[in-house]
Structure 1
Amino acid sequence: MNMLKLSVLSISLATVTSGAAVSPALGLIAKYFSNEAEIMIKLIITIPSIMIIFTSFIFAKLSKIINAKYIAMIGFCLFLVGGVFPYFLNNIYLILISRAILGIGAGFLTPLSVSLIGILFEKHEQVKLMSLSGMCNQLGAVITVSISGFLASLSWQFSFLIYFFVIFIFLLNIIYLPKVMLSNTHKELDKRNLKIIYPFYISLFLTQVLFFNFTNNFSIIYEKEKLINPSFIGILMGSSGICGAFVSFKFSKLFSIVKEKIRYIGALGFLIAFLLFSIRFSENYYVFNLNLMLIIGIIACFFNGSAVGILMPFAFSQISIKSKKSALSTNMAIASACVFSGQFCSPFIDEIFMHLFNLHHPRDAFLIAALIALCLFIYNFRVKIKLNSK
């Protein structure tokens, strides 16, 4: 792989970690800020998402006047400052402000990585590169979540130091990223093209609602149930990322084998995962139940990671293939907005359903996700896909 492809794909390592990297510390953070509402703790993970949504639309305008390299530099600087600064803080509101700055940085980087794939490489390379981008996303999650879990076992504040890793990606892109313009300054939003690809926006939104149901709830639930220590929570969550990385790496081959069936295989993986996560046991025979719950949790993590590893590169590759080149940066900005609006909405959807159906058990959040996964499974039957001849 040449250094240009490596630098473009490395941006994906940063974008996925904007919210999820410190998720293993969420249970400890909730304990430290025990006087705060649980939704405030979950906002630590999801508030970058709402900032990414706004910044993604700024990106679409900015890409018309500033080249890709300068956009990347702005994004990396904001990402690093907003990511690391909570290490020095012990006020929940200042932490949330820092997370918002992180989100602004990620808002420049997220559509950039997928837009560069569409601009710099031919159509027949894009499915493979999108799958590699998905693999980089998952690998980023595996590495950062696992290390963050270890750091959280020392102190919840240490977990924010994980964002120093972005310095290496920053340097790589300073050297190898070209000063290419991403957008035609005279091209307006192509509504006809948008009508073709909007089903994949919905799929991306629901995929992220489900992924962040896992990210937001797993650490808090397992910390409350005292099943495992925080460092192992990071490893277990990282195992989900390993499965996702492997499936993303093999996505183009899997796509060529199963073809149209790919559209609902991922949703089925989510459905199985969250049905397993939602299983609860009585407190009798606790040791037996503990071992069984851990085994079920590991299996569910496998299905959860595999689902993300299929659905994300699937949706992004279809958007890339079906987009006109002149509209690609705008279309990808909208896709990013869908991704991160799903992340932001995820805890609020949990809260709404919990109150609506008067649910009280912590694992009921996973039951809600199973229902959403079923809706995604049914919806994806109507999604029309394009098979690349190469």
Structure 2
Amino acid sequence: MTTDSSTIQAARPRSGYSPLMKFSLLAISLLLTSSNAISGVMPALIKQFPDQPRANVELLSTVPSFSMIIMIIASGFIARKIGDKATVTAGLVIAAVFGVIPFFVTNNFWVIMGSRIGLGVGFGLINSLAVSMIAKFFSGDEKATLMGFRSAFESLGQSLMPLAAGFLVLLSWNSSFLVYFLAVPILVLFVLFVPKEPNNPAADDSAHAETGSAKQSVNGPILLITVFLIVAVTMYIGLTTRLSSVVTGFGFGTMQQASTLLSVMTIGGMLMGFAFGLINKALKAQTLTVGLAALGIGSLIMFFAPNFAVLCVGALIAGISYPTMISYTFNQISEVCPKGSDTLCTSVVLVGCNFGAFTAPYTLKPVGGSSLSQPYLVYGVILLVIAAGYAVYHLVRK
């Protein structure tokens, strides 16, 4: 049945939308992974607020994920009331305003915390619609291609934002928050070039068309994917959150070098996103095994790194492997979710991802104690164990 559906979708005509419209729709994904763009300036933030526990300050990097969880759930209801385009527009405006508040308010920790929560509200309004609007406007191979590009745009944003923050921190630590002004040109493009409704309603997938009339549900495999991603995202975000402190704390480099390394990691991830289709075609079910194992190996290299060069090698392996693992998992959602429940299942999985990102700073101390690098060892071992278990499961099943 899956093959027949794919054949029918591939046979549908292309949408006819302009490259500028496609770019404007994809561009909103540049922001969605930028909540931790300030991870590279974490040492400066810890120094700025010495009266706050380290975990509270590190939470500034990931707290947007908390409000994103709430708004991802609410965004579907809001979109039904005011429309997809209006919801995304509102999200971009909110992100632009709240994202730059810390640039103007530098001495009040809780105002900065509130602004970060507000940033997550804006991102949450956008998050699930960045996926569902592609399914709404496109179909078949064109939709699949744009879904891959969307993942690459996320990685590109995850790369450019920390890099820009790293350069801005040379002016002052609070200047790094100016990176969220990127929401303004994206807002202009989206408003001008993305229509409210598809030119050809028939372009919607049959599953998408059914979601309005059929009751959506979540099944066991989706819940398993969600739990897995909570664990995986918690580990990866924890590693990236702690990276800048490891670089500076061990005397490997500066905050700017740490921000640059984070950017290079995500550039590698972006390139891997473009190549994911070929990798998945070659490795099939073991794509996830390879992604998990590589992330675990990268984490262990970072733990044992004697200098900045070796640390970079481990970080690059981790940065390349993480998108491979995530892309494979998200690609499975439509394969295993109940018919007509793609939107709900995607939202549930996204909630899991953001919950993992939100809790990441609080897992660092329990697994690492007072050691800055200990989490890399613990996470590396856990990831290799999961990879081995998943590989054995599929070999036995085959």
Letter of the aligned partner of 1:253 in structure 2? L
Deviation per residue, 1:41-72 (Å, 9 max, x gap): 11101110111111111113223333210110
In structure 2, the partner of 1:361 is 371
Secondary structure of 1:35 counterpart: coil
1:313-328 pair list within 5 angstroms: 313-323=327-337, 326-328=340-342
In structure 2, the partner of 1:149 is 166
In structure 2, the partner of 1:286 is none
- Whether 1:179 aligns to 2:222 is no
Distance 1:195 1:63, change over 3 A: farther
In structure 1, the partner of 2:156 is 139
- Alignment equivalent of 1:254, drawn from 249, 272, 279: 279
Q: CA deviation at 1:8?
A: 2.5
- Whether 1:117 aligns to 2:141 is no
In structure 1, the partner of 2:177 is 160
In structure 1, the partner of 2:23 is 6
Structure 2: runs of 5 or more not aligned = 1-17, 199-207
CA distance in 2, matches of 1:140, 1:378: 32
In structure 1, the partner of 2:64 is 48
Q: CA deviation at 1:121?
A: 2.5
CA distance in 1, matches of 2:167, 2:110: 25
Secondary structure of 2:81 counterpart: coil
CA contact (8 A) 1:71 1:108 kept: yes
Distance 1:330 1:180, change over 3 A: farther
CA contact (8 A) 2:166 2:259 kept: yes
Deviation per residue, 1:249-279 (Å, 9 max, x gap): 1111211122121121111111011101111
Secondary structure of 2:82 counterpart: coil
Letter of the aligned partner of 2:299 in structure 1? F
Which deviates more, 195-204 or 341-350? 195-204
In structure 2, the partner of 1:344 is 358
Secondary structure of 1:36 counterpart: coil
CA contact (8 A) 1:128 1:252 kept: no
In structure 1, the partner of 2:220 is 195
In structure 2, the partner of 1:309 is 323
- Alignment equivalent of 1:30, drawn from 35, 39, 46: 46
Which deviates more, 50-59 or 374-383? 374-383
CA distance in 2, matches of 1:383, 1:317: 19
1:69-148 pair list within 5 angstroms: 69-89=85-105, 90-148=107-165
CA distance in 2, matches of 1:325, 1:179: 26
CA distance in 1, matches of 2:174, 2:235: 27
Deviation per residue, 1:71-112 (Å, 9 max, x gap): 101110111111110111121111100000000111111111
Distance 1:318 1:93, change over 3 A: same
- Whether 1:370 aligns to 2:397 is no
Deviation per residue, 1:191-212 (Å, 9 max, x gap): 3xx3343333233323311221
Distance 1:164 1:256, change over 3 A: same
CA distance in 1, matches of 2:197, 2:382: 40
Structure with bigger RCO (C-alpha 8 Å, 6+ apart): 1
Secondary structure of 1:116 counterpart: helix
CA distance in 2, matches of 1:372, 1:60: 35
CA contact (8 A) 1:21 1:144 kept: yes
- Aligned residues: percent identity? 22
Which deviates more, 321-330 or 339-348? 321-330
- Alignment equivalent of 2:248, drawn from 223, 229, 253: 223
Distance 1:112 1:162, change over 3 A: same
- Whether 1:295 aligns to 2:289 is no
CA distance in 2, matches of 1:372, 1:103: 29
Secondary structure of 2:52 counterpart: coil
- Whether 1:243 aligns to 2:243 is no
Deviation per residue, 1:98-148 (Å, 9 max, x gap): 000000111111111112233333244444333222211111111111110
Secondary structure of 1:362 counterpart: coil
CA contact (8 A) 1:203 1:376 kept: no
Structure 1: runs of 5 or more not aligned = 281-288, 385-390
Q: CA deviation at 1:236?
A: 1.1
> Which TM-score applies when normalising by structure 1?
0.87
Q: Over the residues paired in the alignment, what is the CA RMSD in angstroms?
A: 2.2
